[in-house]
Amino acid sequence: MRAVVQRVDGASVVVGGTSVGEIVGEGLCVLVGVTHEDTPEKAAQLARKLWSVRVLEGEKSCSDVNAPLLVISQFTLYGDARKGRRPTWNAAAPGDVAEPLVDEVVTQLRKLGATVETGRFGADMRVSLTNHGPFTVLIEV
């Protein structure tokens, strides 16, 4: 699993003109990509890392300050554009594999005590955020 993590001062996701997920104030906006070999165990590992990674103001984690997370599925994180002009998506897991694993990341985060908002899997989403820093990090498990 691969996650692009951005420290934010608020973030939201809109589908078809309707807000489906929003966090206010300090937190993390997390784009999650799934590949073929990923498992529920990797989803739980990613959730633990997201909850405890110290990237918020003052080297704090979401667990330290009870900061919310906005988790959004993004298969394009496994795109490969090294050849030609069009990326390939061969490394991205298909929807029937990826969706339950993204859901598992969210479930595990909530079990840890996190406040989690989400996008809508497979939808045409509009994501807005204020990146604080700017601060963006890639996490792979």
Task: Please pick, among 6, 35, 39, 76, the residue that the annotation labels catalytic.
Answer: 76
> How many whole angstroms from its chain centre is CA 140?
11
Report the amino acid identity of residue 112. L
**Looking at 6, 35, 74, 108, which residue is catalytic?**
74
Residues 99, 46, 113: CA angle, nearest 5 degrees: 95
Whether 39 is catalytic: no
**18 in catalytic set:** no
The CA distance from 71 to 27, in Å, is: 11
| CA distance from start to end of the chain | 5
* Identified catalytic residue from 6, 35, 75, 108: 75
Residue type, 128: S
State the CB neighbour count (10 A cutoff) for residue 43.
24
Whether 45 sits among the annotated catalytic residues: the reply is no
Task: Locate 110 and state its tokens.
Answer: 């909530």
**DSSP label at residue 82:** S
DSSP reduced 3-state for 77 = helix
Active site members: 74-76
